[in-house]
Amino acid sequence: MITLTKLPGIPNFGAVAGDARIKPGNRGCAEIQLSPIGRIIRNCIHEFSLLDSRVRVLQYAVMPDHIHILVFVTKQMEKPLGALIARWKVTVNRTRGGEAVFNEGYNDQILKPGRSLDTLFRYIKENPHRLAARQQFPEYFRRCYNVLIEGKRYNTYGNFFLLKNPFKEQVIVHRRDSESEHETNRHRWMYCASNGGVLISPFISTKEKEIRRQAESLGGSIILIIPEAFGSRFKPAAHDFQQCEQGKLLIIAPAQSAERQPLSRDQCLAMNELALTIATAG
């Protein structure tokens, strides 16, 4: 999945229209009404394979300020995929009249074995629905009750659509990890965070907290698991609240919990198990 973002000052590629309450695929559902530049981009996506027949476009979404293109490389290529994407961007620029449209570079994620291609198809196709829902019902992106995860109920605060992201990684740092193991994991987590994925963890240890800090500095999204239920007036602390408002954070808490007690080993194990369950879900 390739993601390209528009340069500041470039007109939006389109605007959201339709009703987020209508299921995607039905008449009147949310969609992006493309602007002139958006239509140019869409037409160029349709001709993407003309640049190299070994690369097929399986799905795409043109959003107001970015695009997603799901590509399948059918044969070995002599040059990196990035070279082809750079050529495609030049085609868009030339078709529009020469002015650069996208920011430099691109984000990419590879679908790993065991993950559903169907999930990725839906994620891209439902991009307009998620944007419309955030605009139409901003209050839903604060607190949600009784969110069902693997048969158990939780309450959440923040952007619950992060649960639907097809690229998720659990963050867990073991004391027995060597420096090389930790560095390998850190590289994988930072790649995920900087390319549109989501990191999931209770972020308990000092090293896990540092991973979260680094990921957020790259613009990454976080699912934070906490051990206690929200109080009736729960509101995240300043930093977490700001991340929630930006759509970069989802906090997950038990729907119910007993009286507050010191964090136990069993709670830590349960939170890490939940993080793994979410990370490996389709």
pLDDT for 244: 87
Query: The domain 2-108: what is its CATH number?
Result: 3.30.70
pLDDT for 282: 62
* Residues facing residue 143 across a β-bridge: 157
pLDDT for 151: 86
User: What's the whole-model pTM score?
Assistant: 0.79
Q: Contact 172/201 with Cβ under 8 angstroms?
A: yes
pLDDT for 62: 98
Mean pLDDT by 10 residues, the chain (282 residues): 96 96 92 97 96 96 97 94 96 94 94 84 91 83 84 91 93 93 96 95 96 96 94 85 89 79 87 94 72
The residues spanned by each domain of the chain are 2-108, 140-280
pLDDT for 262: 80
Q: Report how far residue 64's alpha carbon sits from residue 22's, in angstroms, rounded to the nearest whole number.
A: 20
We find that the CATH architecture of domain 140-280 is 3-Layer(aba) Sandwich (3.40)
Please indicate whether the domains covering 2-108 and 140-280 agree at the CATH topology level.
Answer: no
Task: Encode pLDDT of 228-249 as tens digits.
Answer: 888 877 888 889 988 988 889 9
The 3-state DSSP class for residue 131 equals helix
Q: Contact 121/61 with Cβ under 8 angstroms?
A: no
Q: Contact 274/267 with Cβ under 8 angstroms?
A: no
pLDDT for 69: 97
